[in-house]
Structure 1
């Protein structure tokens, strides 16, 4: 039976060694795909881990005792001051070669203004962009985007071109 030896235990992640593999245990997260008039909602923020700003879907960690849907509504309000009806789309591991973080992707519709308190350490800007333009900019290396943002863009483009999976 494999055993994990913890090298570091922190607030949102732990680093363990199991059978010679380095494993990051990370809280699960949500991401929200919201569309208005053919544009998708993104947030731009500085990410020290990648040394620059990234364009992302509104997203965040699921707090203890919170369902993914509750977390998605909270994050949408905190980051974009919006609320809406949520539909679960899919979930996926961000980087399963070393990390157990799973992201739950939701679509928000019937968007309405909402009040949310942004995290004190977050400096984000809310931006609406054409998903094809963001995809092309990322492909050309002109824009850094997150994995959930890429998943959301591809889901949206597949859906709007009426491709079936």
Structure 2
């Protein structure tokens, strides 16, 4: 299944970054104990740590983007999508570049919303039936949901635990 593959990639990436972070911290404490570091040491260490965090974020984004355009098919419908088909508008802007809607504890991104009617927002239909028709991934949300396109170019939402990678 594609869900296990994604989490295997995430686990490897997190382990690599964790090992590098631990090595950086050990080096930092070694220098602090055995010598008197200068201002440049602190600056370089801080820059290396910021680069490591940036690398972690870029790697996560790279995994998500590598799934765009992949062809999948439904094999089960055990997992349900935690979002309702429609809900009332409660828009939240985060940082001015991400628009999302708050529903109970969930942040629903605007790309999962099909249309709005007054203050009511309607999400794309959820894929619940098992079929052999291929689906193309358009965008992945939180490594568990995906916005997909079917053969008739209709967009739908699918849970990644319910699908299998075809190509």
TM range (shorter): under 0.3
Q: Relative contact order: is structure 1 or structure 2 higher (C-alpha 8 Å, sep ≥ 6)?
A: 2
Bigger Rg, structure 1 or 2: 2
Report the TM-score, using the length of structure 2 for normalisation.
0.20
Q: Which has the higher helix share?
A: 2
- The TM-score, its normalising length taken from structure 1, stands at 0.21
The structure richer in strand per residue is 1
